[in-house]
Structure 1
Amino acid sequence: MDVEKIFHMNGGLGENSYAQNSYLQKKGSDMVKHLTLKSLEETYVSTTPESLGIADLGCSCGQNTLSTIREMVETIDNKFTNIPPPEYRIYLNDLPTNDFNAVFKILPEFYKDLNTERRLRCQNHESSVYIAGYPGSFYGRLFPDKCLHFIYSSYSLHWLSRIPPGLYDKEGRSINKGSFYISKSSSPQVSKAYIDQFQEDFSLFLQSRSKELLSGGRMVLILLGRRDQTHVDRGNSFLWELLSQSFAALVDKGEVDQEKVDEYDAHFYAPSRSEVEDEVKKEGSFEMDRFEMFEVEHYAGPYTSHGTAVARSIRAIQESMISRHFGEEILDELFENYGNLIDEEMEIEDIKPISFIIVLKKV
């Protein structure tokens, strides 16, 4: 499957949309918001531009994106009251398949509220906030040379540019049958295929951003990761294992062909800290400002359980890929099973996916 042409978060505002099912991602980014905003402050202090260029890479759609922008603007406006605020140039990036229209539709009201607040904050100074959509893969160049001061990417960089080609033999058959990701039954070749693809993608990401950022600019990257060199743990890899089990239940009922399951692989990779650091060091354009590991606390919201919340979140992210390969008719039952499996496992032992926040400064 051509990931760039198919993969996208569920658009709109419906029951299964990303906008309605991104609570866990918002909770994770909020947990480290103080580090994001501190990094933005440090960037502004060191560069003091009249026009501040900010890019959100992998912005998706919904209120999460605009709430982050609001907080960034508020931070600079409130922190530096003795000087005129900068002009803000905000670039929202995601794949062309993203529902940018969902963002554009709520922009007029967002501008209205933001400008009202800013008139009160910046009484004697006026500056503008410009927001634009910028479709394209961030695994490659997106922006002109040295036009950005700050780059933000939240829960996007664990998605690879493609399904690793090393997962297939010479006849094009998957060598990871029955699993969607790295599992206990996977051969060392599977892990190597994912590592190779991560290295290729992350290196290209760093090279591209190094040309687009001004000297002294920063990147804040929030992504899923793992604690150590062990690929299989009771975290992100285990959630993929449970999704495989959900499909196995449908195979047993004759609703899905085993061959279709064997052909499906995830374009996902949760790196270790050392794997990230190695690529940053090899590329050479950035110094590591901060690197912290954290766990998102359990869900507490309108849904009946943590498993339901996770299943809805994964569906909002993976539905485009799954429905293309298996068809839409299995989705409701699949993700109901998935939520139940997560809840059952949580009663036995906690599932602890971890996240990284990484702050890189352009040398």
Structure 2
Amino acid sequence: MRWFNTTLSIVKDTIKEMFTNHFTSFEILESFKIADIGCASGPNTFLFMSEVIDTVYNLSNQNKSLEISIVLNDLHKNDFNNIFSALPSFYKQLQEKHGYEFSQKCFISGVAASFYERLLPCKSLHFVHSSSSLHWLSQVPKNLENKGHIYMAKDCLPHVFEAYKNQFYKDFSSFINKRSHEILPSGRMVLTFLGRSIPDPSSNDCCCLWELLAQSLLDVVSQRLIKEEDVDSFNLPIYTPYIDEVKEIIMNDMSFDVKKIAIFKHNWDQDDNDDKKKSGEIVVNFIRAVTQSILVTHFGELFLNNVFKRYAERVTNHLKTEKTKFIILTICLMKK
């Protein structure tokens, strides 16, 4: 998760820069309002909140009345109960770190809705953060005939690539437009999501991981544990864009200036681990965590262990012969 720590540094630097060069002085600001879009419910949710609150506290020690409002957003199925049940402990840690008075001026709430729609009132936010969410589409592209695959692959027909690209353009354009209404002038967004390193949408750094999963599903078809037509009718609602596609959408909207772009490349095989089997298991556990609910909905849970066992074998074999990278895009935007 080194990339996450790097993007957290970008978030903190962006907040500092806001008040150094472009924004209202902290001395006269009454409240600082933040949204974490696609917040999920794991430890990174609390790590982000803690880091942002610490940053604001350190910047605002001359303003004892400043309040911080953090809105957490994700889909309705997100485990908000897990977040809210952990908040008393989170507030206790805040109190121990920064004092009781400051902890009482930090307000955390949740909005359960698609981030491709409006979430909050007009001009109500100073800062928006999103990590590991915007590569997820609002839906699988419609009328997608993609037999034998679950995503884009090197031997897919041209219409598959076009359908995925069009859906991403529609969704990301909607995201940018909706946030443009909610963010105050000179407010910021820091967005981090999976991407690809070259314009070719069939490149390994966006397709290989998912094609190995498709092949693993077909392995289980050959064992007659799931039906081939179930694989043919399943496609992932995901798109890993090239940075120029992202910039084109932002420029077309004309609501934001691009302040910073960072592109991170990380090997699947973290730290060049010689134990390829262990590395394969780490990759597969990560993919299982983010795809299991979708797979269970479509295929059922009964045979997923078989699928991921075959997937681990395929990923391990891949790592023995080829280095493939995750491409992570981080982009910082300023509202005009």
TM-score interval (norm. to shorter) = over 0.9
Letter in 2 for 1:234: N
Partner of 2:124: 147
Distance change >3 Å, CA 348–CA 162, structure 1 → 2: same
Partner of 1:353: 326
Aligned partners of 1:133, 1:296: CA distance in 2, in Å? 32
Residue from 243, 265, 268 that aligns with 1:295: 265
Letter in 1 for 2:213: L
Q: Are positions 1:184 and 2:159 aligned together?
A: no
Quote how far apart the aligned CAs of 1:80 are.
Answer: 4.0
Aligned partners of 2:240, 2:18: CA distance in 1, in Å? 28
Partner of 2:279: 306
Assess if the C-alpha contact under 8 Å between 1:140 and 1:208 holds in 2.
yes
**Secondary structure in 1 aligned to 2:325?**
coil
Partner of 2:15: 40
Q: Deviations over 1:158-192 (max 9, x none)?
A: 00001111xx2xxxxx4211111111111110111
Residue from 86, 91, 102 that aligns with 1:106: 86
Stretch moving more, 93-102 or 70-79: 70-79
Quote how far apart the aligned CAs of 1:209 are.
Answer: 0.1
Letter in 1 for 2:44: N
Distance change >3 Å, CA 126–CA 324, structure 1 → 2: closer
Quote how far apart the aligned CAs of 1:126 are.
Answer: 7.3
Assess if the C-alpha contact under 8 Å between 1:77 and 1:85 holds in 2.
no
Stretch moving more, 196-205 or 71-80: 71-80
Map 1:254-333 → 2, pairs under 5 A: 254-296=224-266, 298-299=269-270, 305-333=278-306
Stretch moving more, 276-285 or 28-37: 28-37
Assess if the C-alpha contact under 8 Å between 2:95 and 2:103 holds in 1.
no
Quote how far apart the aligned CAs of 1:43 are.
Answer: 2.6
Partner of 2:140: 163
Partner of 1:76: 56
Stretch moving more, 337-346 or 190-199: 337-346
Partner of 1:11: none
Letter in 2 for 1:246: S
Assess if the C-alpha contact under 8 Å between 1:234 and 1:353 holds in 2.
no
Quote how far apart the aligned CAs of 1:304 are.
Answer: 6.9
Q: Deviations over 1:309-330 (max 9, x none)?
A: 2211221211111111111011
**Secondary structure in 1 aligned to 2:164?**
helix
Aligned partners of 1:32, 1:154: CA distance in 2, in Å? 9
**Secondary structure in 1 aligned to 2:126?**
strand
Assess if the C-alpha contact under 8 Å between 1:161 and 1:201 holds in 2.
yes
Distance change >3 Å, CA 311–CA 336, structure 1 → 2: same
**Alignment size in residue pairs:** 327
Aligned partners of 2:33, 2:251: CA distance in 1, in Å? 25
Aligned partners of 1:51, 1:304: CA distance in 2, in Å? 50
Q: Deviations over 1:275-323 (max 9, x none)?
A: 000000000100001111102354479x972221221122121111111
Runs (5+) with no aligned partner, structure 1: 1-25, 169-173
**Secondary structure in 2 aligned to 1:107?**
helix
Assess if the C-alpha contact under 8 Å between 1:86 and 1:127 holds in 2.
no
Letter in 2 for 1:144: P
Quote how far apart the aligned CAs of 1:127 are.
Answer: 5.8
Aligned partners of 1:285, 1:187: CA distance in 2, in Å? 35
Stretch moving more, 347-356 or 77-86: 77-86
Assess if the C-alpha contact under 8 Å between 1:151 and 1:220 holds in 2.
yes
Identity of aligned residues (%): 36
Letter in 1 for 2:320: E
Assess if the C-alpha contact under 8 Å between 1:299 and 1:309 holds in 2.
no
Instruction: Give me the TM-score of the superposition, normalised by structure 1.
Output: 0.86
Partner of 1:229: 199
Partner of 1:117: 97
Aligned partners of 1:292, 1:226: CA distance in 2, in Å? 13
Map 1:240-255 → 2, pairs under 5 A: 240-255=210-225
Quote how far apart the aligned CAs of 1:85 are.
Answer: 6.4
Aligned partners of 2:213, 2:277: CA distance in 1, in Å? 19
Letter in 1 for 2:133: S
Q: Are positions 1:64 and 2:37 aligned together?
A: no
**Secondary structure in 2 aligned to 1:295?**
strand
Runs (5+) with no aligned partner, structure 2: none
